[in-house]
Structure 1
């Protein structure tokens, strides 16, 4: 019983660590993956590098993004940070 009481602070710290750091990060990652899987042609997006553009074409793992000056970039789907709201 004394061993359990001695381990209780460590267990409590792990539980707090889980609910304050690990779980919110997992939720955020799941939300980003869902957004990336729901991308469609014509969506305006921002990449991880800060490039703003419009999706021109989609493939299973890649996306072709057209930027304002007419240039096209071929990017991994995972490089999309967020989808702009219209």
Structure 2
């Protein structure tokens, strides 16, 4: 009885721990792929919440332009997400819209 209870307790505590470790490894791998695939012109967000555009890349350093003419250097590991390009109002959307006939 005591052995089966011990095995049950081990399973109850080990299974969630193993699943958590797998999720963390997957997230770490995803972050490393993102950081390795950065390119000039990418819009990114740092761990500190700073939004900017990549203007230069070195070994472990990313230079971000945070405002026109204002650039800062960040460790590549500080980049946590890539943002989609902004949508320009009145850009190409008007060209593909069908015309209404009167």
Give the shorter-chain TM-score range. Answer: 0.7 to 0.9
TM-score, with normalisation over the residues of structure 1? 0.85
CA distance in 1, matches of 2:16, 2:72: 43
What is the match of residue 26 of structure 1? 25
Greater helix percent: which structure? Answer: 1
Unaligned runs of 5+ in 1: none
CA RMSD of aligned residues (A): 1.7
1:29: how far off?
Answer: 1.2
* Structure ranking higher on relative contact order (CA contacts 8 Å, 6+ apart): 1
Query: Are 2:17 and 1:17 equivalent residues in the alignment?
Result: yes
1:63 aligns with 2:62: yes
Q: Distance in 2 between matches of 1:67 and 1:75?
A: 12
Aligned residue pair count: 84
The DSSP-based 3-state class of the residue aligned with 1:67 is: strand
The structure with the larger Rg is 2
> Which residue matches 1:46?
45
Runs of at least 4 residues of structure 1 off by over 2 A?
none
Gaps of 5+ in 2: 86-102
Alignment TM-score, normalising by the size of structure 2: 0.73
